[in-house]
Amino acid sequence: MNPIFVAIDTPDLQRATELAQALCGSVGGVKLGLEFFCANGPEGVARIAEVGISLFLDLKLHDIPNTVAGAMRSLAPLRPAIVTVHATGGPAMLEAAKAAAATETKVIAVTVLTSLDQSDLRSIGVDDGPPDQVQRLAALARNSGLDGIVCSGVEVKAAQLAWTNGFFVVPGVRPEGSAVGDQKRVVTPRAALGDGASILVIGRPITEAADPAAAARDIAAFL
């Protein structure tokens, strides 16, 4: 399986569709986040699905268990390969999300956003650094019956201590020489896979390339 999922972060349905069409066959799938979903809704997701590419819905659901379960049931007809929830929603929410998801959908818990560092965690009342917090939330996700977690490549090894052979989705992946942007904890694709990543989420280095499919193939060639 191609481990690269491309983050298509745009509200423009036409642009997203063109990217999905161009990338189909060159990557494992595409990730659609809140920006796309808020602009285009389930109908927009269905349009992208028509391309025939695997879909990762990065919606980071976080609410009371009943509400998150209802959201999962609403997403089920779209048959996404992956949907994200926030691990900090707690065990009851995580269990409800998994129970309500479509059978073929992996429910993945977001641990610590890649835009946060230790000082950011302290500002929201978490005294531990990212590795300890990721390890704690990985154990929670595993015990709640989820399929895996989202964590930065910097914390994959820590996550494996809590979840041997877990399914780890790693965003904030940047090829050598790429701009970091708003990410604070980034790794290269090869380093992330070497440390245990299952899926690599790569956005701008591919979507902003003159030839996105060629850029994706070039990255894959060095994995």
Q: Bigger pLDDT: 189 or 42? A: 42
Model pLDDT, residue 178: 55
196 close to 163: Cβ distance less than 8 angstroms: no
Task: With beta carbons less than 8 A apart as the criterion, state whether 81 and 103 touch.
Answer: no
Task: Report pLDDT for 184.
Answer: 53
Q: Which residue matches tokens 């704690």?
A: 136
Pick from 39-53, 68-82, 91-105, 185-199: least confident: 185-199
- Cα–Cα distance between 62 and 49 in angstroms, integer? 24
One of 31, 60, 157, 184 is an active-site residue; which one? 60
Give the pLDDT of residue 13.
98
Of 222 and 27, which is predicted with more confidence?
Answer: 27
Exposed, middle or buried, 46 (CB in 10 Å: 0-12/13-18/19+)?
Answer: middle
Q: How many structural domains does the chain have?
A: 1
Q: pLDDT tens-digit profile of 131-188?
A: 899 999 999 999 999 999 999 888 898 898 889 889 999 998 877 655 555 555 568 8
Name the pLDDT band for 223 (thresholds 50, 70, 90): confident
Q: Is 60 a catalytic residue?
A: yes
For residue 219, the model assigns a pLDDT of 92
* Structural domain for 176, as ranges: 4-221
Report helix, strand or coil for 24.
strand
Read off the CATH number of the domain in which 179 is found.
3.20.20.70
Among 7-11, 92-96, 175-179, the minimum mean pLDDT is found in 175-179
Are the beta carbons of 80 and 104 closer than 8 angstroms? Answer: no
User: What confidence score (pLDDT) does residue 179 get?
Assistant: 52
**Do you know the residue count of the chain?**
223
Average pLDDT, the chain: 92
Helices (H), 51-176: 65-75, 91-100, 118-123, 130-143, 156-162
